[in-house]
Amino acid sequence: MIPSSYYLILSAVLFTIGVIGVLVRRNAIVIFMCIEMMLNAVNLTFITFSRYLNSLDGQIFVFLVMTVAAAEVAVGLAIVVSIFRLRETTDVEEINLMKW
Amino acid sequence: MGEALIHNTIRFILLFPLLGVLINGFLGRKLGKRVVGIVGPAAVGLAFLAACGTFWGVTQSHHAVVNTLYPWITVGDFDVSLALRADPLSSLMTLVVSGVGFLIHVYSVGYMAEDERFTRFFTYLNLFAFSMLLLVLGNNFLVLFVGWELVGLCSYLLIGFWFEREAPAEAGKKAFLVTRIGDFGFALGVMLIFATFGTLDFDQVFEHAPQLLSAGSTLATAITLLLFMGAVGKSAQIPLYVWLPDAMEGPTPVSALIHAATMVTAGVYMVARTHVLFELAPLSMSVVAWIGVVTAFFAATIALVQNDLKRILAYSTISQLGYMFVGVGVGAYAAGIFHLTTHAFFKALLFLGAGSVMHALSGELNIQKMGGLKDKIPWTYWTFLVGALALSGFPFFSGFFSKDEILWKAYENVGFGLWLAGIVTAFMTAFYSFRAVFVPFWGPSRLDKKTAHHVHESPRVMIVPLVVLAVLAFLGGYLGLPHFLGGSAVEGFLSPVFAGEGAHHAAEAGAHAAGVGLEVAFLGISVVVALAGIGLAYFMYVAKPTVPVALARGVRPLYTLLSNKYYVDELYMALVVNPLKGLAGWLARVFDARGIDGLVNGIAAFFGWSGQTTRKVQTGSVRNYALSILLGVVVLVGYFVLR
Amino acid sequence: MELALFVILAVIAVIAAAGVVVSKKAATSALFLLLNFCTLAGLYILLNAQFIAAAQVIIYAGAIVVLFLFVVMLLSPGKEEGQDRKPYAKISAVFLAVLMLVEVGYVLVTGVLGGMSGEYTPEKIAEVGNVQAIGQVLFTDFLLPFELASVLLLVGIVGAVVLAKKEL
């Protein structure tokens, strides 16, 4: 069995890449994809721990996380679509009415 | 029996003038001049009757009686009540204040008849009577101080009564500010007394004084000098006398009542009342006596060359107040108070007479523009003459006895120098008094045509008080005959208050103990000096009128110095007033406007600025917000990692 | 053996993730995302979570990515992103993210990963099969969250429909 830390470090790297993606990209949909990537990284962590601690709780948790992610994607993309209808753009920098 | 009478009458001494204030103040306009002209004098007249009642009660009882009106302040250890004291000193003072006050009120009905603010005048005058009576009747330092401050206020209000003109308004301000300096010292003295004795009650302070203040100690000297500072301001001694000549801008009855007979004597009364403290500080007593004599001499020199009739009398008042301070400064308290009484009579008389002259000449006050008035306004002339005789110390008039008593005691208790200065001042006093008689009333008329046409005697309501005061000025002296002629009734009356004083100073005066012969000799010298002064005035102003002009030209520098009052006012302006004005201006314009306002506005501006700057955090861009979340995460995780 | 598989899968996952972030077109990002999900499914199998791996493929790769692609196609896929006016945000973001990675990595490498050891050893799971084991736990210990998840899905459906309507 390979040490758990390998999986965990992989998970951390994926998470970090997701974070960078969220902050760097301007297309709302791509930002959303990066958020999904972050969620997956966390899922990997849960599964790792479930394996290495001989427990099924981690897997249940991942199951529920997936459920939530699905619902979230549906609603989130619906929001993106309606904003696009309004503003004709998916660039997050254009959506800045709450400025000082 | 006496005590009951005192308790029944004493509060009315204060109540009647207070009622006068309220009635005249609130209902004056509606009641009209006639009614106010009766209510005003009546208030003080009734107070005089009450004072007589109290006086009779005092003669019947053998100790001071305290009537507590109201327990005023009781805070922790500080316990003061509104208490009135009936003893020989206070009852004599109330008689003088209310008696002379009443006569002046009656006179004012005639003098101020044309004035628009007639009712306001009587309101203020009654308020003054109330305040002065409160001052002399108080049984503790706080009531004394309240009365002290109130008379200062009334003085300001009355001096600046015609405030539309600049001169009276400025004079009122000057009076208030200069006496304030003295009052500051007085307040410090009262506070020091409280700090030392823990109480402000007269009886308690005077009883414990010998124990708590060792004779000659710095504490005793400090207390008494601070109290005397108040007297210097209020009673116009050097260096705080400068307000009194300017106060002549007020109506003449005001000058008579406040600045001759009563308010300015408050300082003398105060020193006499607190004599127990002063006796424990011989240094202070010398200060009192020497300031008194220097002021007397100094003011008399200025009075020699003044041309404004009221100003001559003003400087004369300052000079005579100096005499009174010499009296209390050498321990002759009864003599000082006696001179206070006689001075009230003849100085009020002289001022009212000057007012009568003004009335006759439609406001002219320059004696160089008067002349030959004695036939035109005879009643005024004869009463004025009586006053001048009393002031000069002419034998058998009141001033003679009182002034002489002070000079004798000055020699007996202190020494020759003080007596000599006093005698020289007496010579000058006689001279300028009769200059003020001869120049306006004798000789050819120098009036201009229009004024000459309107010269008329004053109405009866003004003449009668003059006559009454003239009688008092003549007979008042017999209350204080010297020892060899029967002894002073005043001194006997006041002895319970000043008990022990005679013995104290008699022991000290051992070196100068003198027999009856010397006293008679000094009396004779006083008579000679007075007659010499009168004679010189006659020579210079009646017999050979060219002499004064030639003399003035001959000693031109000295003459200019004197007639410009030694340039003291200019000196004060340059040294004190203008620097303080400059400081005040700087504080107002720079420190306050820029410094303090800048600080306050700056704080407000700071908040505005910080708000402006902080709101830029709201960029509206979600990415920035996400970045800040990441930053927070990094910091938190870092903290836990490093822990 | 396991290690080799792990390494291959890990590398592909990381490259795919980088591809998602870096690609210029949104559609390309979606495809890279798909690749990432599939490699993760492989990793799950390595970790003995077969059911989850299957669910990953079905839900993520099969539904979510499809949904993404639909939306990408719907909303003018060709537009290029503009240049950022201020590059400092990008730089600081990368820096901070790397910093966070370093912190987490430090903890992972040096820390002792504790936690109570449970009872479901791989051998025990293998007796009944992963699916049944999960089912057993899901319908007994985690029944409430399960029911709430279904409510959540309902809310999601309703919300999506409402938000995407042309007129409310």
* DSSP states along B86-118: ESHHHHHHHHHHHHHHHHHHHHHHHHTTT-TTH
Tokens of B349: 């008389």
Q: Give the C-alpha separation, B27 to B229, whole Å.
A: 39
pLDDT in tens, B68-125: 888 888 888 788 888 888 888 888 899 999 999 999 999 999 888 888 888 889 999 9
pLDDT recorded at residue B475: 83
Mean pLDDT of B583-600: 85
pLDDT recorded at residue B371: 79
**Minimal C-alpha gap between C136 and chain B (Å):** 37
Which residues from chain B sit within 8 angstroms of residue A92, using beta carbons? 621-623
pLDDT recorded at residue B1: 63
Has residue A59 got a pLDDT over 80?
A: yes
The contacts of residue B223 (CB under 8 Å, 6+ apart) are: B189, B192, B193, B196, B213, B277, B281
**Minimal C-alpha gap between C69 and chain A (Å):** 10
Confidence at B154, pLDDT banded by 50, 70, 90: very high
**Minimal C-alpha gap between C152 and chain A (Å):** 7
Q: Give the C-alpha separation, B581 to B585, whole Å.
A: 6
**Minimal C-alpha gap between B638 and chain A (Å):** 15
Q: Which of A92, A98, A100 sits opposite B616 (nearest CB)?
A: A100
CA of residue B359 relative to chain centroid, distance: 25
The answer to whether residue C63 neighbours chain A at the CB level (below 8 Å) is: yes
pLDDT recorded at residue B587: 86
Confidence at A68, pLDDT banded by 50, 70, 90: very high
- CA nearest B144: which of B181, B193, B105? B193
Mean pLDDT of B166-179: 90
Tokens of B530: 């007075």
pLDDT-above-90 percentage for chain B? 24
CA of residue B379 relative to chain centroid, distance: 29
Which residues from chain A sit within 8 angstroms of residue C83, using beta carbons? none
The contacts of residue B399 (CB under 8 Å, 6+ apart) are: B342, B343, B346, B389, B390, B391, B392, B393, B473, B477
Confidence at B543, pLDDT banded by 50, 70, 90: confident
Q: Which of C89, C96, C99 sits opposite B623 (nearest CB)?
A: C89
Has residue B536 got a pLDDT over 50?
A: yes
The contacts of residue C161 (CB under 8 Å, 6+ apart) are: A78
The contacts of residue B91 (CB under 8 Å, 6+ apart) are: B51, B54, B55, B58
Record: contact A98-B615, CB cut-off 8 A: no
The answer to whether residue A56 neighbours chain B at the CB level (below 8 Å) is: no
Phi, psi of B488 (to 5 degrees): -85, 120
Mean pLDDT of C5-9: 93
Q: Give the C-alpha separation, B83 to B552, whole Å.
A: 55
Which residues from chain B sit within 8 angstroms of residue C96, using beta carbons? 627, 630-631, 634
| 3-class secondary-structure state, position B84 | strand
Q: Using alpha carbons, list the distances in angstroms from residue B14 to A4, B83, B130, B262, B400.
A: 104, 12, 6, 16, 33
Has residue B514 got a pLDDT over 70?
A: no
pLDDT recorded at residue B313: 92
Within 10 angstroms of residue B76's Cβ, the number of other Cβ atoms is 5
Has residue B430 got a pLDDT over 60?
A: yes
**β-pair partners for B67:** B84
Has residue B272 got a pLDDT over 80?
A: yes
Within 10 angstroms of residue C23's Cβ, the number of other Cβ atoms is 17
**Window C:5-34, CB contacts with A under 8 Å:** 6, 10, 13-14, 17-18, 20-21, 26, 29-30, 33
Record: contact C100-B624, CB cut-off 8 A: no
Query: Helices (DSSP H) in B476-555: which residue ranges?
Result: 489-494, 501-508, 516-538, 546-554
On whether the CB atoms of residues B379 and B463 are closer than 8 A, the answer is yes
pLDDT in tens, C32-83: 999 999 999 999 999 988 999 999 999 999 999 999 999 988 886 555 566 6
Q: Give the C-alpha separation, B334 to B345, whole Å.
A: 17
- DSSP letters, B287-327, are HHHHHHHHHHHHHHHHHTT--BHHHHHHHHHHHHHHHHHHH
pLDDT in tens, A6-50: 899 999 999 999 999 998 888 889 999 999 999 999 999 999 988
Radius of gyration of chain B measured on its C-alpha atoms:
30
* Cα torsion through C114, C119, C125, C130, rounded to 10: -60
The answer to whether residue B641 neighbours chain A at the CB level (below 8 Å) is: no
Q: Give the C-alpha separation, C63 to C7, whole Å.
A: 27
pLDDT recorded at residue A31: 92
pLDDT recorded at residue B505: 47
Has residue B499 got a pLDDT over 70?
A: no
pLDDT recorded at residue B504: 45
The answer to whether residue C121 neighbours chain A at the CB level (below 8 Å) is: yes
Has residue C114 got a pLDDT over 80?
A: no
Confidence at B127, pLDDT banded by 50, 70, 90: very high
Please tell me the least confidently modeled range out of B203-212, B460-469, B479-488: B479-488
pLDDT recorded at residue C24: 85
**For testing contact with chain C, the best of A4, A73, A92 (most C CBs within 10 A):** A73
| Residues C61-71 as b or e (16 or more Cβ within 10 Å = b) | beebbebbbeb
On whether the CB atoms of residues B319 and B235 are closer than 8 A, the answer is no
Residue of A nearest to B617 (CA): A100
Q: Give the C-alpha separation, B286 to B330, whole Å.
A: 7
Report the DSSP pairing between strands B65-75 and B78-86.
antiparallel
pLDDT-above-70 percentage for chain B? 95
Residue of B nearest to C96 (CA): B631
Q: Which of B619, B623, B630 sits opposite A99 (nearest CB)?
A: B619
Q: Which of A10, A67, A72 sits opposite C10 (nearest CB)?
A: A10
pLDDT recorded at residue C68: 93
The answer to whether residue B626 neighbours chain A at the CB level (below 8 Å) is: yes
Please tell me the least confidently modeled range out of A93-97, B148-152, B280-284, B485-489: B485-489
Record: contact C71-A77, CB cut-off 8 A: yes
Has residue B19 got a pLDDT over 80?
A: yes
Chains sharing 3 or more CB pairs under 8 A with chain B: A, C
Sign of CA dihedral B146, B151, B152, B157: positive
**Window B:157-186, CB contacts with A under 8 Å:** none
Record: contact A24-C68, CB cut-off 8 A: no
Phi, psi of B617 (to 5 degrees): -65, -30
pLDDT in tens, B370-414: 877 888 888 888 899 999 998 988 887 878 888 888 888 888 877
**Window A:60-99, CB contacts with B under 8 Å:** 92-93, 95-99
Q: Using alpha carbons, list the distances in angstroms from residue B69 to B43, B81, B129, B205.
A: 20, 8, 19, 20
Mean pLDDT of B3-11: 81
Count residue pairs from A and B with Cβ separation < 8 A.
28
Task: Name the strand (E) or helix (H) holding B85.
Answer: strand B78-86
pLDDT recorded at residue B209: 83
pLDDT recorded at residue B49: 92
Q: Give the C-alpha separation, C41 to B583, whole Å.
A: 88
Record: contact C96-B627, CB cut-off 8 A: yes
Tokens of B73: 């302040």
3-state secondary structure B189-212: HHHHHHHHHCCCEHHHHHHHHHHH
**β-pair partners for B73:** B80
pLDDT recorded at residue B507: 41
Please tell me the least confidently modeled range out of A76-80, C9-13, C129-133: C129-133
Q: What is the mean pLDDT of chain B?
A: 85
On whether the CB atoms of residues B84 and B69 are closer than 8 A, the answer is yes
The answer to whether residue A19 neighbours chain B at the CB level (below 8 Å) is: yes
Has residue B307 got a pLDDT over 90?
A: no
Q: Give the C-alpha separation, B84 to B91, whole Å.
A: 11
Look-up: residue for tokens 């004005």? Answer: B581
Helices and strands per DSSP (H, E), number in chain B: 28, 2
On whether the CB atoms of residues A67 and C157 are closer than 8 A, the answer is no
**For testing contact with chain A, the best of B618, B619, B623 (most A CBs within 10 A):** B623
**For testing contact with chain A, the best of C3, C14, C20, C73 (most A CBs within 10 A):** C20
Has residue A76 got a pLDDT over 70?
A: yes
